[in-house]
Amino acid sequence: MKTSVEILKKYFGYDNFREGQKNVIDTILSNNDTLGVMPTGAGKSICYQVPALMLDGVTLVISPLISLMKDQIESLVLAGIDAVYVHSGMTASEYKKTASQIAKNNCKIIYVAPERLDKESFINLFKQVDIDMVTIDEAHCVSQWGQDFRPSYLKIKDFIDCLPKRPIVSAFTATATSKVRDDIVSILELKNPYVCVTGFDRKNLFFEVRKPSDKIKELMKILSERRDQSGIIYCSTRKSVEEVCDFLIDYGYKATRYHAGLSDKERSVNQDDFSFDKKPVMVATNAFGMGIDKSNVNYVIHYNMPKNLESYYQEAGRAGRDGSTADCILLYGARDVQMNKFLIEKSHSENNELKWEQRDELIKKDLQLLKEMTFYASTTECLRGYILKYFGEQKDLFCGNCGNCNTTFEEVNISIDSQKIISCVYRINKLGWPYGKNMIADVLKGSNNEKIKNAKFDKLSTYGIMKDVPKRRIIDIIDYLCQDGFLELTDDKYPVVNLNDKSYEIIKGHESIIIKMPKHVEPEIKKDKSTKKTDASKSIPVSDRLFELLRQERRKLADEARVPAFIVFSDATLKDMCRKMPVSRDELLEVSGVGAQKLERYGDAFIEVISGFVKDKKQ
């Protein structure tokens, strides 16, 4: 019997396992349950696909999206592995054909949507099959504390109990806090599982938060620097998706769209256009992306702030899956908070599977998660450090690879400004109802609007005492005071600011508040910094000409096979070809990502391209 390393090389073309993979695989092969928490791009699928090929029986993979299953199956089949998938979108004849294959034990790996698990015919089918392992992909969907809770995932445990023998159960996810991990173990009833958390850090990703006054102008500026790259732009609503996509098309970008309001056919066509690089820019709601295996996504832009950090990190993590450097940029505006609160209440009120008490609890939980996301968008600390701390990892406060670490900050003593703000909150609240950040800032600025006059806030001693301070700065300070616990921001639909015990410590002068604020930087310095980053990204010793020739050959082969280009070989594999310049089959097999099956199928074509390039170079 081949070893796990030999299986890895033969079918997937890699010489070595990544961090955590070998331990997970060895645990599974020792007949133990496993939970793997690994960031996007860390190779979770290898952790169950390799042991699936080594176990005697069948591995059943429960996966939430048809698009994910389709990509996985295409990759497995091209690698020479017998794999099929079962989902609700299949015709009766398609299901009958697939069921026949399964019943005859002609499949090694079977992907299935969780919605099928309570169908009697489906259960009876799998009672005839020797299932050695059940793998749950995107396992966070089982937890109500996860960012994408799916009630259908609660059927998994009952399905496993229906099988003639209990299989090994393995579960995988990219983002899970300790509470979500506990839920996965408990709800799926994993038996003394080995829990592998490899860490959440994606060192190849550059994180940045921008607060533009005009988001569409900022978006166009970002895209103008990335015209030849593939990327995803996330919007919070279908309307925003339509507006942004139409705008980009009008300006000559090959863009497409994805949201739940489109027909199944259009979503499928648009996703294929993106996967096949016919339209390299995808504008979408969060309905798009889970499990998308496109390896050459160079950037992910959030046009609107997501509802929680788990969603943000998972969506941002769709960039740079092949290990190449990629940008994750959030465009933050204060209106994003209100929009998310509306969407949170709307989504839970429309979920008929929930009881009222469950609905209220989930809304409360989601509003707390939204507060954490808002703090991320407002912090001046290291963005990577903030994310990793949220997931329970303690990292250095300076990563050197995020927008905040690369911004020149200066330390500013805001003790006096904080006293003025807290004093204003105290006097406003004493007159009656508390108010939100905007009203407080307007009072401090000395605004003449009617609301202030009608409430008699223009008679307060704090009225206009910060008239020379920009309103944006006042709100930033309020955000900081809320984030650090000196003020309380309620979780209501229209949040208001309240005092707490720590507030009075500032009023008494017992606390000195020093924060980092962006320092004015001359344009030429910004240019130098940008140039430095660009130069660093181009320092990889890869011939642009050869890389383009290999891409053209990959495109031709992919079109013939009717699969996305990355299914043939990833950009990372093509770049490794450029570095190693293989001109024989043995040499090509040394390239990362080239396995025996793909060598046999595509090897000669790529060797011919490289040999021709080498010959032309010598002449």
Beta carbons of 231 and 328 less than 8 angstroms apart: no
For the residues 334-355, what does the mean pLDDT come to?
A: 78
pLDDT for position 102? 87
pLDDT digits (tens, 9 = 90+) for 303-313: 999 999 988 99
Q: How far apart are the first and last CA of the chain?
A: 48
Q: Output phi, psi for 151, to 5 deg.
A: -55, -30
pLDDT digits (tens, 9 = 90+) for 227-273: 889 999 999 999 999 999 999 999 999 999 999 899 988 988 998 89
Single out the residue of 555, 607, 605 nearest to residue 581, CA to CA.
607
- Residue 159 pLDDT exceeds 90: yes
Q: What is the pTM of this model?
A: 0.69
Using DSSP, state whether 606 is helix, strand or coil: helix
Q: Look up residue 281 and give its DSSP letter.
A: E
For the residues 105-117, what does the mean pLDDT come to?
A: 88
Kindly indicate the confidence band of residue 166, based on its pLDDT and cuts at 50, 70 and 90: very high
pLDDT for position 522? 43
For the residues 319-346, what does the mean pLDDT come to?
A: 88
pLDDT for position 543? 82
Single out the residue of 530, 540, 495 nearest to residue 370, CA to CA.
495
Burial class (CB in 10 A: 0-12, 13-18, 19+), 582: buried
Mean pLDDT of the chain: 86
- Residue 536 pLDDT exceeds 50: no
Supply 38's token pair.
Answer: 């690994």
pLDDT for position 493? 66
Single out the residue of 300, 316, 71, 30 nearest to residue 174, CA to CA.
316
pLDDT digits (tens, 9 = 90+) for 169-204: 999 998 788 888 999 999 999 999 999 988 788 889
CA-CA distance, 413 to 20, in Å (whole number)? 45
- Residue 223 pLDDT exceeds 80: yes
Q: Which residue segments constitute the domains of the chain, with CATH numbers given?
A: 4-197 (3.40.50.300), 205-407 (3.40.50.300), 412-518 (1.10.10.10), 544-618 (1.10.150.80)
pLDDT for position 146? 64
pLDDT for position 220? 94
Better-scored residue on pLDDT, 529 or 318: 318
Supply 303's token pair.
Answer: 């046009």
Pairing of strands 326-331, 488-489: unpaired
For the residues 506-520, what does the mean pLDDT come to?
A: 73
pLDDT for position 595? 87
Better-scored residue on pLDDT, 538 or 208: 208
Q: Which helix (H) or strand (E) holds 156?
A: helix 156-162
